[in-house]
Each structure stands twice: as structure tokens, then as C-alpha cells.
Amino acid sequence: MKENLFPKKPYKTDGGAPVPHRKGTSDEDSQVLPPPALVRLPMQMHIGAPCTPLVKVGDRVLVGQKIGDSDAPFSAPIHASVSGEVTEIGEITLGGGARSLAVTVASDGKMEEIPYIPPKMDTYEDFITAVRECGLVGLGGAGFPTHIKLRPSADKKIDTLIINGAECEPYLTSDNREILENSWDVMSGVYTVKNMLHIHRVLICIESNKPRAIEVLREIADSSVDKDDEVRVLALPARYPQGAEKVLIKAATGREVPPGKLPADVGCIVMNITSISVLSRYIKTGMPLVHKRLTVDGGAVAHKQNVIVPLGTSVAEVLAHCGLLPEKVGKVMFGGPMMGVALESLDVPVLKNNNGIIALSKEEAATSPTTACIRCGRCVAACPMRLYPLRLEKAIARKDVARMEALDLLTCMECGSCAFVCPAKRPLVQSMRLGKAILREEKSKNKK
Ligand code: SF4
Ligand code: SF4
């Protein structure tokens, strides 16, 4: 037994907010969306260089066929998610408002797949090539290309792999369903990454409000599969934002990632639990990332559920399948209410890093009026990054760049804990975003 390698309980983390969980879909099996009439596959579904289309209008494509790629090292290929004909290649608007070139495929309804075979996996280089060819990016929200994450620079000594199954956002249960429906894929992905990177400590972190997920993975980790005793499941307190990368690293290892540094700087790699499961299936089958499980919930949805959809399907089509109640809709978001992105149009495609579509009713989306700050300090106590949101808000209102920097604005991860607890309902997150935009503008002015 390697007790000294593993914490007996999570390390204490700072701040957080008692947000309601609302995980009503966690016990329901995922449903599969029937093939949509068309998909629009943006060439930019990741952080890094956009892909260039490898197909032209009129081409027939199959599910899993690579249709976009880039020579840039920091990128990830895009694959067709339905079979059919390429009908258009042009710019579209994405959920967050960004523009991207996209390939539109009109589905023939057959979902005919490429003849796929498992990738060669003899060496570490084979493995990294496989991760890239899978088209895998961080599926928990960031969209960071996984093949880059799994090739840390030689000066970083990685000793811990953290698997993020916290899923602390209200409503979202897609990672929880991945664990319950594909627990062996999760574990086999863990062992592949662990062995390829020679990491001898893996902590699978799950919030304690998902007891079945903890139980099923513990059963496997406690069995003879983990003969070297290098994988443990750590139950975390169910307190938002437990799944934020820096908070998770602190809870699992006690290590603090300094401002401006990355997990690798403190010896850790953090992977989303669905990402590791998708990687495991690719290694077994050779079918790349072409669909995504989304939690569809909120007061304006009649049939709340997790639904597996081809990438590029429109939000409107997913919501129609789940019974959107148009007269009730107050706000539709990609992601949960704490860190999600409000959608101005439902005519936007589902991307690799989306994990939920939440359609709040008018009552749920209603906001209370903002009043003056009463200097109660609750926002400071709630901030997991130990920032001073009230002081930052003032500095941002004055456009005081030096003060914003002194107060470490860029460390803010926009988790919304401060705004959630604020009795004056100050729009603190919007303020932090504005402050960051001011800092960016200042930086670009100084470069000229
Ligand atoms: S929680 Fe709101 S009211 Fe209280 S100090 Fe912070 S900004 Fe002011
Ligand atoms: S949004 Fe930023 S300032 Fe507010 S609690 Fe989260 S990290 Fe702290």
C-alpha cells in the first residue's frame, strides 16, 4: 500500500459558494439524438490555430472522416460527425460570438462510418500522435488540445495525474453519466495515460454529491486492476467551484499554482474525466471524437435529459428534441449558470467543449436590482483565489490599471462565487471581464 502517496481526505481550499446543485438528470440514462438534417463543423473548436478544410463543396463524407486539420503544432483536427454531402464552406457565428470558418454537411441519415482501426500504440510518440488524430481537446470547457497537455516540457517533473470528475456547475451531469455508463473506458484511459507518461500517482476527483460515480470507480480502482496501487478516487466536498483547475489541484495535492503558472509547474496534469474516456475509446477503436453528451435542463425544458449529439448539431435542434417551451424561455446558455455563456441565437453549433445547454425560465433568469456595496466582505470570503472583488470593482470602474494589476485581476477565473454571495447583487463577474479587457488593451498599446 502506498498510503503516503495519497491524501486521506482532500486538502482545504479557500472560498467557494453554496450554489444549488440541481442535478435532476444524474440518474437518467443518456439518450441518443436522431441524425440531424445537417451539421456545421467549425474549423476552430479549440484553443490554438484554426484548421483548414480538407474537403470541398459536393464531396461525400463519412462519420469519422477528417475534414479539417492544421500544420500548426497547437491545434486539433476536426472530423465529420454525420455522413452526407458537403453543401457549404463559409464563416458562421459561434455561441460565444466569435466567427469561424465552418464546413456544413447535409446528412443522408445513414450515419455511415469510415472503416476505422485502432491506432498504433507501440511508443510514446505513437500515443501522442493518436491523441492528436482523435481530435481530442479539453472537453470540460477549456478546449485545450490534449496532445499538447500530454507532452509537458522536459524541465517539468510530472508526478501526479488528476482526473477532474468534480462537475461542480449546477445542472450539469454529463460527466457523471460518462462515469456511470462508461466506467471501464474511464479507468482504461487512466491506466493508458499513467503508463505512457510514467506517472505513479493518479487522483480521480469527484464531488461527494455523486456517490454512485465514486462507488463504481472505487470498485475498479480497489480491484486487482490497480495492482500497483497507484490510482485512488478522492471524494471532494460538494462546494462550488471545486472543479476549477487550481482549486482541484489544491484539494487533491495541497499544492498551489502560482499566478501566471500552469499545473505542470507544480508537477500536475489535470484531465477532464470525459476526455480520458473518449481517448480510451479512440485507442480501442480508432473512431475519433465526433459526438458529445450534453445535459439539457432548465425550467424551459420539458424533457430534461442527457443527450448524445453529433458535433455541429444546432442548439435549436437539440432543444426541440428535448421539448423546449418557447413561451417560458428567459435565457439559454452553453454550460451552467455560474460559468456558462448566454446564447443570443439558438442557430449555433454544438462544439467539442460544450457539456450542457441550459434553458432557464423567465423566473429563473430574472435578476435582482443592484444596490450599493455595503462592504460586508462576503465576496472576499467566497473568492477561491483570495482576491478582493470589491476593491477590484472600484479599480476597474476607475480604469486604474496599476491597481488592477496590484490586486492580481488576471488571477480571477470568473467563477462567479463573489457575485453569487453578494447581497447587493453587484455585477462583479462582468466587472472582472471588463477589467481584463482594459488590461489587454493597455498591453497591446504598450506593444506598439
Ligand atoms: S459582497 Fe457585495 S456588498 Fe459585500 S463587500 Fe462584496 S461587493 Fe460589497
Ligand atoms: S469571479 Fe474572480 S473575483 Fe469572483 S470569486 Fe471567482 S475568482 Fe474570485
Mean pLDDT over 152-168 rounds to: 96
**Atom of ligand 2 minimally distant from the CA of 392:** 3
More confident residue, 228 or 351: 351
Mind listing the pLDDT tens digit for each residue in 359-387? 999 999 999 999 999 999 999 999 999 99
Q: Would residue 410 count as lying in a domain?
A: yes
Q: Pick the more confident residue, 5 or 330.
A: 330
With respect to residue 327, please indicate whether it lies within any of the assigned structural domains. Answer: no
Residue of 432, 433, 439 to test ligand 2 pocket, by largest number of atoms within 8 Å of CB: 432
Q: Ligand 1, residues 368, 370, 378: which to mutate, most atoms within 8 A of Cβ?
A: 378
What is the largest distance, in Å, between two alpha-carbon atoms of the chain?
A: 64
- Report CA(54)–ligand 2 centroid distance (Å): 41
224, pLDDT greater than 90: no
Please check whether residues 264 and 384 belong to one and the same domain.
no
The tally of domains found in the chain comes to 2
Å from CA of 437 to ligand 1 middle: 22
* Contact (CB, 8 A) for 301 and 322: yes
Residue where a domain terminates, one of 255, 285, 315: 285
For residues 249 and 383, membership in a common domain is answered with no
pLDDT of residue 323 exceeding 70, the answer is yes
Does 165 map to a domain?
Answer: yes
In this structure, the answer to whether residues 234 and 127 fall within a common structural domain is yes
Quote the DSSP letter at residue 224: G
The mean-pLDDT minimum among 135-149, 205-219, 329-343 falls in: 135-149
**Domain membership flag for residue 178:** yes
Instruction: Look at residue 140 and tell me if it is in a domain.
Output: yes
Query: Which residue, of 285, 301, 321, is where some domain finishes?
Result: 285
Phi first, then psi: give them for residue 446, nearest 5 degrees: -65, -25
Query: Is the same domain home to 132 and 254?
Result: yes
pLDDT tier for residue 3 given thresholds of 50, 70 and 90? low
Enumerate residues 6+ apart whose C-beta is below 8 A from 103. 40, 41, 43, 53, 55, 67, 68, 78, 86, 88, 89
- At 83 the pLDDT is 98
253 and 385 co-located in one domain: no
- DSSP letters along 35-71, please? PPSEEEEES--SSSSPPEES--TT-EE-BT-EEEE-S
CA distance 219 to 224: 10
Q: Which atom of ligand 2 is nearest to the CA of 415?
A: 6
Closest protein CA for atom 5 of ligand 2: 383
Mean residue pLDDT of the chain comes to 96
pLDDT at 1 > cutoff 60: no
Instruction: Tell me, yes or no, whether 322 lies in a domain.
Output: no
Which residues constitute the domain of residue 156? 3-27+121-285
Pick the closest to residue 310 from 9, 109, 55 (CA basis): 109
Residue 96, pLDDT above cutoff 90? no
Question: How far is CA 135 from its chain centroid?
Answer: 15
Give distance in angstroms: CA of 367 to centre of ligand 2.
Answer: 19
Same domain, 14 and 160: yes
Identify whether 46 is part of a domain: no
CA of 358 to the centre of ligand 2 (A): 22
Query: Which band of pLDDT confidence, cut at 50, 70 and 90, is reported for residue 358?
Result: very high
SS3 (DSSP) at 233: strand
Please, are residues 72 and 78 in contact by the beta-carbon 8 Å criterion? no
CB 384 within 8 A of CB 353: no
Going by C-alpha positions, the residue among 211, 251, 250, 252 that lies closest to residue 231 is 252
More confident residue, 378 or 227: 378
Distance 385 CA to ligand 1 centre (A): 16
253 closest CA partner among 239, 240, 241, 264: 264
Closest residue to atom 1 of ligand 2, CA basis: 414
Task: Indicate the top mutation candidate among 13, 383, 410, 420 to test ligand 2's pocket, ranked by most ligand atoms within 8 A of CB.
Answer: 383
Which of 321, 313, 308 shows the shortest CA–CA distance to 355?
308
pLDDT tens for each residue of 265-315:
999 999 999 999 999 999 999 999 999 999 999 999 999 999 999 999 999
412 Cβ closer than 6 Å to some ligand 2 atom: yes
How many angstroms separate the alpha carbon of residue 11 from the centre of ligand 1?
A: 27
- Residue 402 included in any domain: yes
Which residues does a 6 A CB cutoff place in the pocket of ligand 1? 373-379, 389-390, 422-424, 426
CATH number, domain at 167?
3.40.50.11540
In degrees rounded to 5, what are phi and psi of residue 60? -95, 135
Residue 319 has pLDDT above 70, yes or no: yes
State how far the Cα of 373 lies from the Cα of 375, in Å rounded to an integer. 6
Rounded distance from Cα 418 to ligand 1 centre (Å): 8
Ligand 2 pocket test target in 385, 396, 422 with most atoms within 8 Å of CB: 385
Residue where a domain stops, chosen among 256, 285, 314 = 285
